[in-house]
Amino acid sequence: MRIRPYVEFAKRAFSREGTYRTQVFTHIGSVLLRVFLLSMVWTALYRNNGEQAGITLPAMITYATLALLLDLIYGVNGAYVIREKIREGSIAIDLMRPISVPFYVLADTVGQTLFASMQIIPALGLSLFIVHLDAPATLGAAFAFLVAVLLGFVVNFFLDLIMATITFWTMEIFGVQLMVQFISSLLSGSLVPLYFFPPGIIQQLAFASPFAAIYNAPLSIYIGKVTGLQIVTTLGTQVVWAFVFGVVALGLWRLGERQVVIQGG
């Protein structure tokens, strides 16, 4: 498979996203507002209940702020275009082209994500005027955090691709997608750290779910809840889920290609 065409697809996606300047400022403003509100909420909760699950208030505010910043890149759902193409029937044209549609979507998503990543810099800088953010304990933890963010992106992309590919059979997955997004938000640790879940089977299931590989893994490494050899285990778990989701997504795609139904003719 030639790589160059997909690099060009990524570049075009990056350039395309740069045309929506108003949306950029809107995203950054939204993040800053949520950073302020969440810092107030967590400060009030900690004032009334004290430290929770070994996570201090500064660490909790750091966790919540980084989760919002990561949402800028994890929130890019490039696979959404597949759902629309299948519903419109234009996917048949894409299947005739000499490219891999899933890898085209991946390249397009990477381009969008790279542009979204640039928004993190001003958003992070402005957030520092609102809240104090703890630095990672070591340079090794900082590097592991970045690796975990990358692996979380891969897991999240393949999850989106799986949901989009299901449209081959259902034509509409809006309701299911909302449900999966809610479950993902809850079990990924983007809303509340999984360490705050009631100890026992519920917490164990949350940590064992594939969704924990998206937000919980990198954020746990950053705030020091995962250290030493645990970091290697955490990254390894992310790799496993990325592989499993990738195999499922590409397998469903190959099956879906044989089940193409062009809606409306």
Alpha-carbon span 253 to 91, nearest angstrom: 12
In a domain, residue 229? The reply is: yes
pTM over 0.75: yes
Position 262 scores a pLDDT of: 47
Q: Is residue 79 part of a domain?
A: yes
Q: How many domains does the chain have?
A: 1
Give residue-wise pLDDT tens across range 45-76.
999 888 888 899 999 999 999 999 999 889 88
Residue 262 in domain: no
Evaluate whether residue 171 is within a structural domain.
yes
DSSP state of 159: H
What the block records as the tokens of 171 is 């034509």
pLDDT tens profile 95-112: 777 888 888 889 989 998
Residue 264: inside a domain: no
Q: What is the pLDDT of residue 13?
A: 87
pLDDT at 128 over 80: yes
How far is 229 from 249, CA to CA, in rounded Å?
Answer: 30
Q: What is the percent of the chain where pLDDT is above 70?
A: 95
Q: Span 14-25, mean pLDDT? A: 78
Q: Is residue 191 part of a domain?
A: yes
Contact 209, 61 (CB under 8 A): no
Confidence band, pLDDT 50/70/90 cuts, at residue 173 = low
Quote the CA–CA distance of 28 and 67 in Å, as a whole number. 14
Task: Calculate mean pLDDT across residues 162-187.
Answer: 80
Which has more confidence, 242 or 19? 242
Q: Got the DSSP string for 168-185?
A: HHHS--HHHHHHHHHHHH
For residue 233, give its domain range. Answer: 4-257
